[in-house]
Amino acid sequence: MAKKVVLAYSGGLDTSVAVRWMIEQWGVEVVCVLVDVGQDPDSSESFESIRSRALAAGAMDFVVVDAREEMARYFCGPAIAANALYEGKYPLVSALSRPVIVRHLVDQARTFGADAVAHGSTGKGNDQVRFEVGVHALAPDLDVLAPVRLWGMSRADSVDFAEKWGIPIKATKEKIYSIDENLWGRAIECGEIEDPWAPPPEEPYTLTRIRTDVPVELTISFRQGVPVALDGEAMGLADLLKALTDRVGPTGFGRLDMVENRRVGIKSREVYECPAALALITAHADLEDLVLERELHHEKARLQIRWAELVYDGMWFSPLKEALDAFFQETQRHVSGDVRMRFEAPGVGRVTGRRSPEALYDLGLATYEAADSFNHFDSEGFVKIYGLGLKTWAARQGAKNATPQS
């Protein structure tokens, strides 16, 4: 059994109770690590008050790691390059933050000489998979402990447990939503959302409450696939995500309501708000339409689906995912330029223009005006040869099938 454990600590009920529970059940020492991935930017309590909760629960130490820049650059950046949308919709909000947290858990485990790490995920979700598979990929020697999956306590039991041990918690016995947040967006589960027919409640949304005049128009600039400026103002990706969330969220853009397939075989209805993520992926994909050569573009689209599945499934640190990153990196060499988007409430945002010095769009070829540079006579032979096989088939075998039979 492990002796010293580094716990991914959020400051919430479950991870606070987990500190004391692990000490009592397993006799371990617990170090709490809070990884700041941009969660709860407005209403968060101070790290000081979270620290005192961790210590009150019995932790031997508490560490905060600011991983916002890292998450933006090395996790959201590749997700933009991959236009990553799991099942065509979900921009992987929670799936992207877990490997960031895993990296720091392993780091802190080494610093503190711990022999295990722990997380507060339940047995029904994807996050346990991401934590455990991720830790084992980086540190096969470390144990991973999942107290919440084992303890069999209801929420009310946990509140009683916290009271008994004098752990100061804000949570009450009724909790409606389970919310996970970072600078890529917010994931909301539980409560009435569990009924797939029930319309999503307005209450849990924070980023996309409508509170601005529309339309909002803005221009996003990309350099080699990376967003580098908003309306001409250069900024780092973490700042850009924040600025974009603040500009676009209040138009109501960025909500998702979906039934998704979890890795553990459960279908679940979830709602999300990810204004920055969805705006950036939309803009980036549009710029690629302008600059990517056709065959590369089509092949990339196929591989993007795989990348999103791998990341959703907790395979961030896998060789296949890294090889796909290398491929996407290569595809981004010419993805530089500007994309203009227009947002109209409620929740509508679309691209209204794109430009790039690297554009493959050639007006001389594309125009229907008289002064084009396209040789129309070349098309005649091309089309004949292109359709020759089909024509031969039709003459011998197929023509009778070409018209519907009555």
Catalytically annotated residue among 94, 121, 127, 255 = 127
Question: Given phi > 0 = left and psi -120 to 50 = alpha, else beta, which region is 341?
Answer: beta
How far is it, in rounded angstroms, from Cα 401 to Cα 382?
A: 26
Nearer to ligand ARG, 95 or 183 (CB): 95
Taking CB under 6 A as the criterion, the residue among 14, 127, 273, 313 binding ligand ARG is: 127
Residues in a beta bridge with 256: 272
Scan residues 188-207 and list those touching ligand ARG (CB under 6 A): 189
CB of 122 to ligand ARG, least distance (A): 8
- Cα 118–chain centre separation: 22
Phi, psi angle pair for 200, to nearest 5°: -60, 135
For residue 35, state whether it binds ligand ARG (rule: CB under 6 A): no
For residue 94, state whether it binds ligand ARG (rule: CB under 6 A): yes
Nearer to ligand ARG, 95 or 280 (CB): 95
Q: Is 127 a catalytic residue?
A: yes
Nearer to ligand ARG, 95 or 114 (CB): 95
CB of 148 to ligand ARG, least distance (A): 11
Residues in a beta bridge with 227: 222
Nearer to ligand ARG, 154 or 375 (CB): 154
For residue 336, state whether it binds ligand ARG (rule: CB under 6 A): no
Q: Is 340 a catalytic residue?
A: no
Nearer to ligand ARG, 147 or 225 (CB): 147
For residue 181, state whether it binds ligand ARG (rule: CB under 6 A): no
Output the DSSP codes for 54-86.
HHHHT-SEEEEEE-HHHHIIIIIHHHHHTT--B
For residue 101, state whether it binds ligand ARG (rule: CB under 6 A): no
Helix (H), strand (E), coil (C) string for 122-135: CCCCCHHHHHHHHH
Catalytically annotated residue among 40, 66, 73, 178 = 178
For residue 270, state whether it binds ligand ARG (rule: CB under 6 A): yes
Catalytically annotated residue among 98, 130, 247, 354 = 98
Q: Is 14 a catalytic residue?
A: yes
**Do residues 184 and 277 lie in contact, with contact meaning Cβ atoms separated by under 8 Å?**
yes
CB of 313 to ligand ARG, least distance (A): 10
Taking CB under 6 A as the criterion, the residue among 126, 221, 332, 356 binding ligand ARG is: 126
For residue 14, state whether it binds ligand ARG (rule: CB under 6 A): no
Nearer to ligand ARG, 4 or 269 (CB): 269
CB of 389 to ligand ARG, least distance (A): 46
How far is it, in rounded angstroms, from Cα 406 to Cα 391?
A: 24
For residue 95, state whether it binds ligand ARG (rule: CB under 6 A): yes
Non-local (6+) Cβ contacts of 221 within 8 A are 227, 228, 229, 230, 232, 337, 338
- Tell me the one-letter amino acid at 151: W
How far is it, in rounded angstroms, from Cα 318 to Cα 348?
A: 36
For residue 180, state whether it binds ligand ARG (rule: CB under 6 A): yes
For residue 132, state whether it binds ligand ARG (rule: CB under 6 A): no
For residue 331, state whether it binds ligand ARG (rule: CB under 6 A): no
Task: Please count the residues of this chain forming the interface with ligand ARG, following the rule CB under 6 A.
Answer: 9
**Do residues 238 and 67 lie in contact, with contact meaning Cβ atoms separated by under 8 Å?**
no
Long-range contacts, 105-109 (Cβ 8 Å, 24+): 105/6, 105/8, 105/33, 105/35, 105/131, 105/135, 106/135, 106/138, 106/139, 106/142, 108/6, 108/31, 108/33, 108/63, 108/65, 109/6, 109/139, 109/142
CB of 177 to ligand ARG, least distance (A): 8
Nearer to ligand ARG, 36 or 189 (CB): 189
For residue 245, state whether it binds ligand ARG (rule: CB under 6 A): no
CA distances to 112, 318, 321 from 82, rounded to whole Å, are 36, 16, 11
Strand bridging mode 233-234 / 255-261:
unpaired
CB of 141 to ligand ARG, least distance (A): 27
For residue 182, state whether it binds ligand ARG (rule: CB under 6 A): no
Enclosing H/E stretch for 162: helix 155-164
Interface with ligand ARG by CB under 6 A: which residues? 94-95, 126-127, 178, 180, 187, 189, 270
> Which residues belong to the active site?
14, 98, 127, 178
